Amino acid sequence: MSITIKAALLAVALATPGAAAALPPIEKNPVVVQGFYAIGLADEIRKNCPTISPRLIRAWSYLNSLKSYAREAGYSEQQIDALQHAKAAKNALEDRIRADLAARGATPANPEGYCAVGREEIARDTAAGRLLRSK
């Protein structure tokens, strides 16, 4: 997410009366969910494709930008930490990622599928693709 979009979302949230009360649970915030999805997708691809490696510094920076976004949106450090350590939310996200990968042909029975999805994500310059590189 660009800084301009992030700033606009923050400005709208801050200008809206009762914005803090209207804040959705952090695990349902679309920006946060999409960010964790991208990180999880990239992680599954890099773990299962020997020809794709992670961009660890970029992933760490991306995670920190998600945390900054959450803080700016009005979430507390406790809410952010709780989400990072919520096993149920993590398991649900992992299940969703694995189902999406399987629908795209990436399964333990077809390990090349992970590489194909990874190459596609990199070529499309998606959030997950920017966290990966071909070896």
Burial class of residue 21, CB neighbours in 10 A (0-12, 13-18, 19+): exposed
N-to-C CA span, the chain: 26
pTM value is 0.81
Average pLDDT, the chain: 88
pLDDT tens digits, 77-98: 999 999 988 999 999 999 999 9
Q: Confidence class of residue 109 from pLDDT cuts 50, 70 and 90?
A: very high
Task: Give the structural domain span for 19.
Answer: 3-134
- How many structural domains compose the chain? 1
Residues 24/12/124/66 CA torsion (nearest 10 deg): -60
pLDDT tens digits, 56-80: 999 999 999 999 999 999 999 999 9
Quote the DSSP letter at residue 26.
Answer: G
Q: Confidence class of residue 133 from pLDDT cuts 50, 70 and 90?
A: very high
